Amino acid sequence: MLTFAPLESKKKYHSNQDALIKAASFCAYQERCHKELKEKLAEWGIYGLEADELLVKLIELNYLNEERFAQAFAGGKFRVKQWGKMRIKQELKMRDVSEYCINKGLKEIEEADYRNTLKEVLEKKLTGMGKLKAPEAKNKAYKYALSRGFEPNLIWELLAEIKL
């Protein structure tokens, strides 16, 4: 026979002001998207109209700005994790960010930096392959760059420039 543990009671803030302060602090720590904030509010036991009102208030106070979030997310994931635009776009879509904000975020990435980063990623991967034949090594490097979210045509273009 299955038994279930009792549900943990979710912490409910005593007033909207307490919840607003806590949510503002959550958003001030780092940029957040609307979906992340709604999930956090649900963890705190705040749902429906009350959650929507908090969301609107935080937008009005400029604690929550999805365009700013998309720009910070795209720039950060590109610089720190060396993700390609396809991967960044996919991750932003999973966070329910609008297409407009996604495009604004991707504009944060300079084309020259993007190409240089991809070239560095490819060269690093190729140097770590040892004694593989050139076509096999380039295929593995292609798959690796593709998994990081770079565009297939750009990968092949830069692979053609790299001499093995």
Domain ranges of the chain: 16-60, 66-106, 111-161
Amino acid occupying residue 119: K
Q: Tens place of pLDDT for every residue, the chain, 164 residues? A: 555 444 454 556 667 899 999 999 999 999 999 999 999 999 999 999 999 999 999 999 999 999 999 999 999 999 999 999 999 999 999 999 999 999 999 999 999 999 999 999 999 999 888 778 888 999 999 999 999 999 999 999 999 998 87
The distance from CA 58 to its chain's CA centroid, rounded to whole angstroms, is 21
Q: Taking a C-beta distance cutoff of 8 angstroms, is the pair 46, 54 a contact?
A: yes
